Amino acid sequence: MTIGQRIPMRDGHLKATGRLKFGADLRLPDLLYARLVLSPHAHGRLRRIETAPARAVPGVVAVLTAADLPWFQREPESHARALLAWERVVYYGQPVAVVLAESEAAAADSAARVEIDIEPLPAVVDPLKAMAPDAPRIWPGGRPGVRADAGAHAADVGSASEGSAVLPPNVSDHVRYTRGEIARGFEEADLVLELTYRTASVHQAYIEPHTTTAALDPATETLTIWTSTQDPFGVREEVADFLGWPENRIRVVPTPVGGGFGGKFTLLEPLVAALAIHTRRPVRLTLTRQEEFLIGTPAHASIITLKTGVKRDGTLTALQARVIFDAGAFPGSPARIAANLLGSFYRFPHYEIEAFEVLTHKPGVGAYRAPGAPQALFALESQMDEMARQLGLDPLEFRLRNVMGEGDELPSGKRYGPIGLRACLEALREHPLWREGRREPGEGIGLAVGGWHGGLEPAAAMCHVDRDGSVRIYVGAVDLQGTHTAMAQLAASILGVPLEQVRILQGDTDTSPYAGASGGSKTIYTVGLAVQRAAEEARQQILRIAAEHLEVAPEDLEIHDGQIYVRGVPEPRMRVGEVAALAQRFGGKFEPVFGRGTSAQREQAPGFAAMLVRVRVDPETGRVTVREVVVAQDVGRALNPLLIEGQMHGGAAQGLGWGLWEALRYDENGVALTASFLDYALPIAPEVPPIETRIVEVPSPHGPFGARGVGEPPVVPGAAAVANAIRDAVGVRMTELPITPERLWTAMTARMIAETRLRHEWGD
Amino acid sequence: MTIGQRIPMRDGHLKATGRLKFGADLRLPDLLYARLVLSPHAHGRLRRIETAPARAVPGVVAVLTAADLPWFQREPESHARALLAWERVVYYGQPVAVVLAESEAAAADSAARVEIDIEPLPAVVDPLKAMAPDAPRIWPGGRPGVRADAGAHAADVGSASEGSAVLPPNVSDHVRYTRGEIARGFEEADLVLELTYRTASVHQAYIEPHTTTAALDPATETLTIWTSTQDPFGVREEVADFLGWPENRIRVVPTPVGGGFGGKFTLLEPLVAALAIHTRRPVRLTLTRQEEFLIGTPAHASIITLKTGVKRDGTLTALQARVIFDAGAFPGSPARIAANLLGSFYRFPHYEIEAFEVLTHKPGVGAYRAPGAPQALFALESQMDEMARQLGLDPLEFRLRNVMGEGDELPSGKRYGPIGLRACLEALREHPLWREGRREPGEGIGLAVGGWHGGLEPAAAMCHVDRDGSVRIYVGAVDLQGTHTAMAQLAASILGVPLEQVRILQGDTDTSPYAGASGGSKTIYTVGLAVQRAAEEARQQILRIAAEHLEVAPEDLEIHDGQIYVRGVPEPRMRVGEVAALAQRFGGKFEPVFGRGTSAQREQAPGFAAMLVRVRVDPETGRVTVREVVVAQDVGRALNPLLIEGQMHGGAAQGLGWGLWEALRYDENGVALTASFLDYALPIAPEVPPIETRIVEVPSPHGPFGARGVGEPPVVPGAAAVANAIRDAVGVRMTELPITPERLWTAMTARMIAETRLRHEWGD
């Protein structure tokens, strides 16, 4: 059985050797290259766009604005639908014109010659200022509709109370969860701690930029869109809605995703579709890295204030939380998810959690790996650590005392089934780094947990067995993290055929059965279950045909290594391919081996991770070096430990990025200051220490072979673990991300001055 | 319900307006164009091929022979595998070299400069001479394997006795069916008639030439083949076997077939695959019309001798038949089918039917609409007509007296279920043309029947219902005759949605469920049944979801016009698309609407046609003008009468072509004399009179809604009907096809001379 084996990602060698063809490699005859012209103001009124000089560039076919494309001539409902501004620009870099040319060079030359006349208007950049009732409105005409992106990652948090109906004009969402009597909770506390945590805007920073190509078939008036997306069916729906076309005239062909992390749902597709329809030629737009930073959909900043009560013995009494998410110019932030998660880790008998989504003059927000969770858990886990330290309790034992488990109720109203949060903590308790607490001078050890409740979405899959014994599995889900490899393992294990015989075919929105976006740690849990069922059905069909052909009972047969055996007889009787061939030939008497599987999981399979980090802080500069990372994660059942470890490594590294380096910055006018990898600091190899992984397996009752989603959880605890390690090392509580040397040095210096003053005041 | 409605072929307007893209329209970057160099001898030894002058043409990338492509360096097993000769050429026009160039023009220029040195050898062209034990052997090393093409069209004729094992070397197949005691049968007869019938080699004469493009993906070493074929899965199997590759490294993408009629199974694909692998660039080969005539796979000539006994009252007593099919250089003729059919129309108590397949130095044989049947029925129906006339019986009543029906046993050993042969005759008996027998001077009326037992092959289909209420049906079967339109009608009727909402998606061998070749009148009967079942399953899923959502029982719901109704309530409750959307959204609680259907028909659904023609014979020239045609056909259930009539029209016209015009001719050295439409006479519009159709419906117990296959039967009776009408008009029995003016004039003149002599001898 290949389940549980360490199988390399199937297309890994192609990716590693640069041979995989991405969307931008697709060659089409008559292709036009699009280049965008971006707004130099974060807020302004479009006065005039002079395109004549741009049109004069040889090879240029058209220079278009929203005036040429009626679909853009309305108040946009989402970031993607505002990729050509109409009348107003609402963020710095918002496209205002697009050039179409026969070559990329001509398009770039031409775009530089478009003359834009914009009347600047005051930009609202700070979400706290944007919340003021008298702040300039981002959308004077009313708030645009909510995007699906973050929702697709989200746990179901819909049962929350919806909060007050009277919200400031730039507040686009609000939620409030309560339990017990918050005042009583604080009364019962021996320690009440209130801190405000801030996280920066963080970009998904995938290697492959967005690239979308669209072509209209003039004969059938159908549109084909090749695009790097996590969500082909979502793109189809979004483009159909944008164009006012039926979905069945649009075919979305997903191209390999060179990194998504939540940032590749729908972005360029409505615009490129409109361009292909307008010009009746194939059109491609591939973003530059600068454009990725300016018009991509990052995770925007959050501000979370936590006030907690705890008894001296470590019993939690109350949580009061106020969560603010900056959504940029379009709604869709994970504020609700963050609010729900704040009440989903520890047993607070009394809580009051309130979350606000605020609009500002920035690009629209997107999903980024466990959207809302790194923000929420940075706050919660820093707070837990600080409480433990102030009470002199062991931070790990303190957590174990309060941690939630099966049967506990979440703010959303759901209850946990079996979960592995406690088991992850216990796995780290035994780790030498924690048990021995060994650290060198200037070092500290930090602990944090994180988790993700997991997305749910119906899915379907097919399993076709061919004459050569090979197996085709059709799914509609894009492979981001090696899920196709794990699906192949599922099918091979169930069918009893060698793994090499199994292909996972993803197709497009015409040729694939339905699956939702690949995201939210739900692919294996939902699509994988459909694959499991399809393979099981095909297996039964194989056994029935073989039994009739061999004149034995199906239950007397078994399959391994692609061969059919009669139980107890050592020699195989026939090959799986021979069985399939009986049903795939002229005059064949059996129905083709063709299994169908569908799934509609109704219970989530929450996944948790816990992380230990050892850091060293340079006392002269505040520079933090991460020396050791240990991640424990409950994956339910490790279908492929190799790929799971890859997820844990990647998540942990990104978590360190949240904690120490990454930030998109805007000036007071909303002008982006970080528009390249020279300005935006990603964790790179020398900065990421070896990461040790501990796989925990608390089976999900519903996942295939007990599996849970694994993509999201390991990114969540990183920032808090780092902050807690710094606290351990140098005694300062850092509450704002990223913890740059400048900020840490400033905090350390302030503490030193305060301590010095204290010593002076009280004598030494 | 759209079943039974006259719905135009879905892509008909695209075909009629020239907007459908065929395989040769496909544009690929870096494409190389292939051009063949053909042998000027029908038989010879390859001495030397000088390619240097050809390689010097600018734009030429390679000039290759079998010496460069190891796959061709062996005794070929089929026509397609001999598309580059190795050591010997075995038919006139066999390719000996291939040029690959950056443009079609360069390829053609270069091909003309290849110098071929072939040592001519004696060619065996006449099948009777080829049968001689001492005839030169076509394959001195032994007979090559049998091709699948004709088999894919064939009824199951496998239970025949296999005949003597000692066959002349060029006889590649032999079958013998017997019943009763043939000698006794002839003893009981009042009239014994023996005639020998000859049919010419006939080309399928599709409008679109063969075109195949292949490209190797260097990253995955998988091969994609775009090809105009009726049988994508068959091409995959054949190419895999030819290359020695597993099937799952080959993807066959069928392009629209611009006419096939049995002539488009596997032809260019092995060669083009080899070229693409060798050059590692995409390669296309599109045949010229001349090449179609020289290296295509036509139906070759047949010689059928029938000796029949009949009593004066019209009771048949005996049939002795000797069938010879010329297969060209490779086995695969429908000789067995013809033999089986000769014993499958009338109740001969005694018969002895023997058939031989003979190899000659001609291109390999292919399937052509009801392969073997026009030949067999030309003989049988001419013979029946002649017996009736010589006995003074009404030809139609004579047939009705002897015609087979339900329960009768065929030579193959099978028995008929319910069939419509008698009903077709009865339909014509009532027709004024027959009832009144009105004819002008020089005119005659002829009657004949024909039929086809129908192919069987397992098939699978999927039915996916999308959020916009549209339905995707996946099948692996190519649409040749509007079968996709009929499948859409099946699905729309079952699901209760508008026809426009249903798309039939055919995909390729990676993305499609299995279906065999589109041919043999089996597509609707087998694939259509799978579609029916897939739609039925999807319907049940829709009703279950809607019932749970609406909190009613599924059996209280019904669907029409894409809406869900509670029985007895006039207002719809929800749209089908809304039901589908419940299962295709984040957090959805229902499994996607995704029905699977598989079929493995074990009983054939034989289809029959009967035809009346009225002709005029010009006594001066022997030229025959067809004045009126009536076709009656049992289609089981007319799913789409418009398209069925199209099949009846086309089949009838092709039947006239068999009878009067079409012939591929070869000289005594095997040199083809007919290599263009200037030499090869097709029936064209002015020569084909209006064709009246009578649809008969004797339901098949197993076909979808009772449907039978309809493609083959109407071509079968044409030649005999024409010959019988000529006999009626001028009293001569024409036994050789086509009945050209020259032949008819000669026969009429001979008869006149004989009659004159008779009058002289006996006095007047």
Terminal C-alpha separation, chain A = 69
Residues of B in contact with A240 (CB under 8 A): 468
Query: Which of B592, B411, B291 shows the shortest CA–CA distance to A474?
Result: B592
Which residue in A397, A712, A742, A755 is the catalytic one?
A712
Contact yes or no for B136/B125 (Cβ under 8 A): no
Tell me if B468 and A19 make a contact (CB, 8 A cut-off). Answer: no
Same domain, B572 and B607: no
Q: Is residue B165 part of a domain?
A: no
Query: Is residue A356 located within the same domain as residue A398?
Result: yes
Question: Do B507 and A511 make contact, defined as CB atoms within 8 angstroms?
Answer: yes
On the 0-12 / 13-18 / 19+ scale of CB atoms within 10 A, A8 is middle
My answer on whether A109 and A232 are in the same domain is yes
Nearest CA in chain A to B247: A468
- Tell me A265's DSSP state: S
Q: Which of A553, A579, A599 delimits the end of a domain?
A: A599
Domain, as residue range, for A743: 302-455+603-750
pLDDT, tens digit, for every residue of A256-301? 999 999 999 999 999 999 999 999 999 999 999 999 999 999 999 9
- Which tokens in the block code for residue B118? 């072939």
Do A421 and A276 belong to one domain? no
Most A-contacting residue of B594, B604, B702 (CB-CB within 10 A), to test interface: B594
Hey, are the CB atoms on A240 and B468 less than 8 Å from each other? yes
ipTM: 0.91
A140 and A75 Cβ atoms separated by less than 8 Å? no
Q: Please measure the distance between the N-terminal and C-terminal CA atoms of chain B and give it in whole angstroms.
A: 69
The DSSP line for A485-532 is: HHHHHHHHHHHT--GGGEEEE---TTTS-----S-TT-IIIIIIHHHH
Which of B254, B286, B318 is where one domain is finished?
B286
Instruction: Write the secondary structure of A623-690 as one string of H (helix), E (strand) and C (coil).
Output: CEEEEEEEEEEECCCCCCHHHHHHHHHHHHHHHHHHHHCCCECECCCCCECCCCCCCCCCCCHHHCCC
- Say what the pLDDT of residue A763 is: 61
In sequence order, what are the beta bridge partners of B215?
B224
Shared domain check, B667 and B591: no
d(CA A719, CA A378): 6
Measured between CA atoms, how close is A606 to chain B, in angstroms? 14
Q: How far is CA A656 from CA A303, A681, A719, A737, in A?
A: 19, 11, 6, 11
Asked if the Cβ–Cβ distance from B587 to A511 is below 8 Å, we say no
Q: Does residue B641 lie within any of the structural domains?
A: yes
Confidence of residue B148 (pLDDT cuts 50, 70, 90): very low
* CB spacing of A457 vs B587 below 8 angstroms: yes
> Are A458 and B501 within 8 A, CB to CB?
no
Is there a single domain that holds both residue B394 and residue B431? yes
Q: Contacts of residue A245 in chain B, CB cutoff 8 Å?
A: none
Looking at every residue in chain B, the average pLDDT score rounds to 95
Phi, psi of B427 (to 5 degrees): -60, -40
Find the CB nearest B598 among A247, A456, A594. Answer: A594
CB contact under 8 A, B516 and A455: no
A177 pairs with which residues across the strands? A353
Residue A12 CB coordination number (10 Å): 16
Residues B106 and B7 in one domain: no
The one-letter code for the residue type at B574 is M
Among B457, B503, B591, beta carbon nearest to A599: B591
Give percent of chain B above pLDDT 70: 97
C-alpha A170: how far from chain center: 25
Spatial CB neighbours of B46, under 8 Å, sequence gap ≥ 6: B85, B86, B87, B88, B89, B96, B116, B117, B118
Q: Which residues of A touch B507 (CB under 8 A)?
A: 511
CB-neighbour burial class of residue B729 (10 A; exposed 0-12, middle 13-18, buried 19+): buried
Residues 6+ apart with CB under 8 A from B557: B543, B546, B547, B550, B564, B565, B566, B567
Among A457, A583, A602, the residue with its CB nearest the CB of B586 is A457
Residue A389 lies in a domain: yes
Q: Are strands B624-634 and B691-696 parallel, antiparallel or unpaired?
A: parallel
Helix or strand (DSSP H, E) at B286: strand B283-286
- Cα angle B2, B4, B10 (rounded to 5 degrees) comes to 60
C-alpha span between A287 and A35 (Å, rounded): 8
CB contact under 8 A, A585 and B457: yes
Measured over the CA atoms of residue B475, residue B476, residue B477 and residue B478, the dihedral's sign is: positive
Whether A630 contacts A741, CB under 8 Å: no
pLDDT band at B526 (very low <50, low <70, confident <90, very high): very high
Q: What is the CATH number of the domain that holds B22?
A: 3.30.365.10
Å between B22 CA and nearest CA of chain A? 12
| Nearest alpha-carbon partner for B588 in A156, A707, A333 | A156
Cross-chain Cβ contact B592/A507 below 8 Å: no
Strand boundaries in B360-442, DSSP class E: none
B633 and B738 fall within a common domain: yes
SS in 3 state form for A339-367?
A: HHHHCCCECCCEEEEEEEEECCCCCCCCC
Q: Do A472 and B510 touch (CB under 8 A)?
A: yes
Q: Count Cβ atoms below 10 Å from residue B331 Cβ, excluding itself.
A: 26
Q: Could you tell me which residues come within 8 angstroms of residue A294 by beta carbon, excluding any fewer than 6 positions away?
A: A38, A92, A93, A363, A672, A675
Catalytic residue among B291, B292, B712, B736: B712
Single-letter residue type at B199: T
Cβ–Cβ gap B466/A247 under 8 Å: yes
Chain B residue with the nearest C-alpha to that of A218: B19
The number of beta carbons lying within 10 Å of the beta carbon of residue B453 is 30
Measured between beta carbons, the chain B residues lying within 8 angstroms of A457 are 585-588
Nearest to B247 among A466, A587, A591 (CB): A466
Question: Is the predicted pLDDT of residue B436 greater than 50, yes or no?
Answer: yes
Cβ within 8 Å, pair B514-A218: no
Tell whether the torsion through CA atoms of A726, A732, A738 and A740 is positive or negative. negative
Q: With a cut of 50, list the residues of chain A below it in pLDDT.
A: 146-156, 158-161, 163-164
Give the per-residue pLDDT at B438: 85
Closest CA to A495 of A543, A581, A580, A559: A559
Do B282 and B226 contact (CB within 8 A), yes or no? no
pLDDT of residue B138: 95
Nearest CA to A724 among A369, A404, A396, A348? A396
State the helix-helix crossing angle for B741-762 and B718-730, rounded to 10 degrees: 30
Q: What is the CATH number of the domain that holds B86?
A: 3.90.1170.50
Q: Kindly list the residues from chain A whose CB atom is less than 8 angstroms away from the CB atom of residue B220.
A: 14
Nearest CA in chain B to A580: B514
Q: Catalytic: B591?
A: no
Residue B200 lies in a domain: no
Sign of CA dihedral B80, B84, B85, B86: negative
Which site among B19, B514, B593 would you substitute to test the A interface, given the most A Cβ atoms closer than 10 Å to its Cβ?
B514
Do A470 and A585 reside in the same domain of the chain?
Answer: yes
In chain A, which residue's Cα lies nearest the Cα of B460?
A592
Identify from B247, B527, B532, B585 which residue to disrupt to test chain A contact, counting A C-beta atoms within 10 A and taking the largest count.
Answer: B585
Nearest chain B alpha carbon to A591: B600
What is the arithmetic mean of pLDDT over B179-206?
98
Structural domain total, chain A: 3
Q: Let me know if residue A135 belongs to a domain.
A: no
pLDDT for A764: 53
In a domain, B188, yes or no: no
Q: Pick A592's closest partner by Cβ from B19, B592, B598.
A: B598
Q: Kindly state whether residues B635 and B674 are assigned to the same domain.
A: yes
Distance CA A587, CA B526 (A): 11
**Do A568 and A632 have their domain in common?**
no
The pLDDT-based confidence of B156 (bands split at 50, 70, 90) is very low
* Cα A368 from Cα A345, distance rounded (Å): 21
Task: Give the number of other CB atoms < 10 A from CB of residue B553.
Answer: 11
**Nearest chain B CA: its distance from A363 CA (Å):** 24
Is B509 a domain residue?
yes
B30 — pLDDT class (breaks 50, 70, 90): very high
For chain A, state the CA radius of gyration: 27
Which of A585, A590, A593, A602 to mutate against chain B (most B CBs within 10 Å)?
A585
Q: Are residues B480 and B500 in the same domain?
A: yes
Residue range B380-425, pLDDT digits in tens: 999 999 999 999 999 999 999 999 999 999 999 999 999 999 999 9
SS3 of B311-322: the string is: CCCCCEEEEEEE
The reply to whether B411 falls in a domain is yes
Half-sphere exposure of B155 (CA within 13 A, CB side): 34
Query: What pLDDT sits at residue B146?
Result: 43
Q: What is the pLDDT of residues A458-502, one digit of tens each?
A: 999 999 999 999 999 999 999 998 999 999 999 999 999 999 999
Nearest alpha-carbon partner for B560 in B552, B571, B550: B571
DSSP B46: E
